[in-house]
A and B are shown apart, each in its own frame.
Chain A
């Protein structure tokens, strides 16, 4: 699947590209408005990750342009934090989702996957790892076909980890994923640890041991 990243900061562009290449996407990068327009005109992308602030134009203009070309590529807008207006404008112009800067790549990854599932999913609303299965539509989880009873936070956490399969996801990223901007107000992310502990216990009861692994002090990962 093809992905376009429009981001004027080369270093950030490179990070995003590298991250998504590891997820087996074909990633194109564009650092300017004009470079992006050129790419959009010629290639169809599964998802465009679009920074609003570009040196030679606005990401919002690009979004308008895209709709004028009658393209329905999925778009995730990157807006500056606290800029509510950018979010509203972006969504009004047909963006599928938005994410505030600075973001975690794991969060962006989860958003892109969710978008692709929604847009091109063809009913694939299942996340699966080993004998663990999550149905995203009915928000249910099963382990070896046995239903798992999870709290909302535990479910979101598990889905987030499955979306970032084989990747280390930091405590901070998990906290922000579950609580959004509220995470700013948290003194520590120790509660992530207790969520994980409960989750691991529940998984173990149903025979899904070792699906969620702890990676030193860094974070957690779901490994296959």
Chain B
């Protein structure tokens, strides 16, 4: 399942950024705790020194104890290792009538040959509150940052990817048969897109050149084949007029003549296809399709021994603006197709309105997929009499004039629809 790039980056951001933020917050919290601890130690040391200085200055005549501030005790104990280290305690705080957390630091001093234990206290409530507040603020800031990152990522990707979508649109609209030039800007302001556009420009150039080459090849090849085919035809005509021709030779010659004529026809059709592709039918005019269709049907009724039952529904004076020979070829190929691929004693329905031409005929279902019907040399069974180019030609003419063409098979009926608009 492909997702939009934006969705994917957002997803990554939303998964990883919070994780990083949590880790960062933790580190931040620990660092802050350490900093607070250090600060309290400094505070207590300072207080200790101040108290002791005051004690000496007043020659011991100061308060020995101020609750929650300091305490000076005479002591005979030697230095404990726990002294000079911060430690937690709770003290009864009279003003609030409850026990509150404090930190204390004890140190031993000597004065007048007497040892004194000086303990100073500092409340840890304020600092804990401060830590919590700072931490909360930090969390809010980080969350805002996360939201901002996601938001700006969303917002900027629209503008940043704009050249990409512009390229995509142009590439989608590219139609090789029209040999369009696709000129994408190579200075979008983003190196990657510049390179992409450069690559697409080069690719389209190459594709167009290759396509042109192929088209020219088909045209040139058909053109070159015309002369040898004409020579074969003329020699055959001379040959069949030889006076002492045997029946066997005559039958062989008849087969050769027929095959050669089919080859000529195929070659002419290929040339015609190439010419339509190369847009070599510039002369257009108003053509009355109604009259043309009726003529084609009338003519075909003469050619075929077993012409199907025809039913026509032809609106009068349906006009199109196109090249006359091409429309003739289109209509007669469609009718011919419907006659040839019919069943014995089959039917043919012709409907023509201002917007479309529908040709329906009875027939066996196709062996291949319907869309392949319009490809060159796609033949159902090996009907040797047909060139396999008829419907390819129809399709080519339709695409030249922007007509739509569709094929459908339904309960014994083949339906080909040409939409003029």
A: which residues have CB within 8 A of B? 9, 11-12, 15-16, 18-19, 22, 80-82, 84, 101-106, 153, 167-168, 170, 172-173, 179, 182, 184-188, 190-191, 194, 215-219
Q: A170-B257, A172-B261, A218-B254 are in contact. Are A11 and B231 (CB under 8 A)?
A: yes
Which residue of chain A is the closest to B339 with respect to CB atoms?
Answer: A187
Give residues of chain B (263-279) contacting chain A, Cβ–Cβ below 8 Å. Answer: 264-265, 268-269, 271-272, 275
Interface bits B288-316 vs A (CB < 8 Å: 1, else 0): 00000000000100111100000000000
Per DSSP, are chain B's interface residues mostly helix, strand or loop, or mixed?
helix
Q: Does B112 touch A at the CB level, under 8 Å?
A: no
Contact A215 B250 (CB under 8 A): yes
CA–CA, A140 to B269, complex, Å? 37
Contact A12 B250 (CB under 8 A): no
Contact B250 A18 (CB under 8 A): no
Contact B385 A18 (CB under 8 A): no
Question: Shortest CB–CB separation between residue A138 and chain B, in angstroms?
Answer: 25
Question: Shortest CB–CB separation between residue B304 and chain A, in angstroms?
Answer: 8
- B247 touches which one: A102, A153, A179, A216 (CB < 8 A)? A216
Give residues of chain B (222-239) contacting chain A, Cβ–Cβ below 8 Å. Answer: 223, 226-227, 229-231, 233-235, 237-238
Q: A106-B237, A191-B305 are in contact. Are A82 and B261 (CB under 8 A)?
A: no
CA–CA, A168 to B394, complex, Å? 36
Interface bits B325-336 vs A (CB < 8 Å: 1, else 0): 100000011001
CA–CA, A153 to B303, complex, Å? 12
In the complex, chain A residues whose CB is within 8 Å of the CB of B162: none
Could you list some 29 contacts between A and B, CB below 8 A? A11-B231, A12-B230, A19-B238, A22-B241, A81-B268, A81-B271, A82-B268, A82-B275, A84-B325, A101-B226, A105-B234, A105-B237, A168-B241, A173-B237, A179-B299, A184-B265, A184-B268, A184-B269, A185-B336, A187-B303, A187-B336, A187-B340, A216-B247, A217-B251, A217-B254, A217-B255, A218-B253, A218-B257, A219-B240
In the complex, chain A residues whose CB is within 8 Å of the CB of B240: 168, 170, 215, 218-219
Which residue of chain A is the closest to B258 with respect to CB atoms?
Answer: A172
Which residue of chain A is the closest to B333 with respect to CB atoms?
Answer: A185
Q: A82-B272, A185-B333 are in contact. Are A12 and B238 (CB under 8 A)?
A: no
In the complex, chain B residues whose CB is within 8 Å of the CB of A15: 231, 234-235, 237-238
In the complex, chain B residues whose CB is within 8 Å of the CB of A215: 240, 250
